[in-house]
Chains A and B, each alone.
Chain A
Amino acid sequence: MKLLRMKPGHGEIVLAEGDVAVPEQERELIEAFRRELDAGMWAAVPTRAPSGRREAELVKSFAEVPRDAERVIFFPRAAGGAPPASG
């Protein structure tokens, strides 16, 4: 599983990578996950339905991440009322 974070001026960066079946690596993933959530990020898991439909699932804790998920993508939380020029 990879934890990715969107970053201005860079694109995504890999925060952590590991096998959730390996306790030590899972611990590192959980710590990185919590750090991002504490920093105010939203976490999403891209999913693919058997029909081929692609969607995402917002998760609020590592326990909600499907064990077979390949990636969790962190991105800044949504904020309304952006400046008129940027929307």
Chain B
Amino acid sequence: MGLALGTAAVVLVVLLWELARPTLKRALARSHELWAARRRGNAPLGYDPGRERRAEQRARALLRSCVTERDWEMYRDLGFLRVWGGLGDRGRGSGAAYAYLIYPHKPIVAYMPQTGELLNEYCVAFPDHSKPYGSSRLPDSDDVLAKWMALTADERRLVGEANMHLPGRQVDPDRVRRDIVRLRRWEQRLSADPASPASGRGGSSGWDPDNIRAA
């Protein structure tokens, strides 16, 4: 009786082992691959909100150190940057014929400051194919800074690299129009506030937000 039970137990263990072996082998192989990838430093890491938040804080500090205090406040308060166009005959500055709105990880939107008319969307990205943390996407403020640097340094080149579309392809035109109104009101508030470090510098475009019209 004991011998029969023992034999049955051995057979059962062997059967279970044979059944489980492929699964165990696959799990072991996967663990080994992950371990090796981690050693190489390119493991498919999961989303870490703490890391992303710290990255964004660094990116914001870098952006702030590169743009004017007024532009920094614009980005901080409104979530986008306005850059004057420099290819028109009026030159770059508050009297420029056109301007761009730079959003993080959205197309750059060109518009006419005098009328609020939307001109084009320029779809451009700065993918880092080395994907150090599993993503090629720069922090939001780094994306804005990259666009700002490329636009102010070589507007023609950036526009040439971008894919141009009519307004509304990716960014909601109504949202952009609202943002243009918000920007105008923000600048009016700044101009009226003598305590602001950004007041009275290149704020007026002579454009009336109530006259905004569809592109």
Number of interface residues of A (CB under 8 A): 32
CA distance A26 to B58 in the complex (A): 26
What is the minimal beta-carbon distance from B19 to any residue of chain A, in angstroms? Answer: 42
One of B6-14, B30-38, B118-126 at the interface? B118-126
CB-CB under 8 A from A55, the residues of chain B are 152-153
- Contact of B132 with A80 in the complex, beta carbons under 8 Å: no
- Contact of A79 with B170 in the complex, beta carbons under 8 Å: no
- Contact of B146 with A87 in the complex, beta carbons under 8 Å: no
CA distance A33 to B199 in the complex (A): 38
Considering the complex, which residues of chain A in the window 58-87 have a beta carbon less than 8 Å from any beta carbon of chain B?
Answer: 58, 73, 75-82, 84, 86-87
CB-CB under 8 A from A46, the residues of chain B are 65-66, 149
CB-CB under 8 A from A53, the residues of chain B are 68
Q: B58, B124, B132, B139: which contacts A78 (Cβ < 8 A)?
A: B124
CB-CB under 8 A from A8, the residues of chain B are 55, 128, 131-133, 135-139
- Contact of A56 with B152 in the complex, beta carbons under 8 Å: yes
CA distance A52 to B170 in the complex (A): 34
Which of A8, A56, A73 gathers the greatest number of chain B CB atoms within 10 Å?
A8
Which of A11, A53, A55, A58 gathers the greatest number of chain B CB atoms within 10 Å?
A11
- Contact of B135 with A9 in the complex, beta carbons under 8 Å: yes
CB-CB under 8 A from B105, the residues of chain A are 86-87
- Contact of B201 with A52 in the complex, beta carbons under 8 Å: yes
- Contact of B58 with A52 in the complex, beta carbons under 8 Å: no
| Interface residue SS majority, chain A | strand
> CB of A6 within 8 A of chain B?
yes
> CB of B192 within 8 A of chain A?
no
Interface residue ranges, A against B (CB under 8 Å):
4, 6-12, 39-40, 42, 44, 46, 52-58, 73, 75-82, 84, 86-87
List 19 additional contacts besides A54-B66, A56-B66; criterion CB under 8 Å: A6-B59, A6-B62, A6-B126, A12-B58, A12-B59, A39-B130, A57-B153, A58-B149, A58-B150, A75-B142, A75-B146, A76-B128, A76-B129, A76-B138, A82-B123, A82-B163, A86-B106, A87-B105, A87-B125
Can you list 30 pairs linking A and B with CB atoms under 8 Å apart? A6-B128, A6-B139, A6-B145, A8-B132, A9-B51, A9-B132, A9-B135, A11-B54, A11-B57, A11-B58, A40-B129, A46-B65, A52-B68, A52-B201, A53-B68, A57-B153, A58-B149, A58-B154, A76-B126, A76-B138, A78-B162, A79-B127, A80-B122, A80-B125, A80-B161, A80-B162, A82-B123, A82-B124, A82-B127, A86-B125
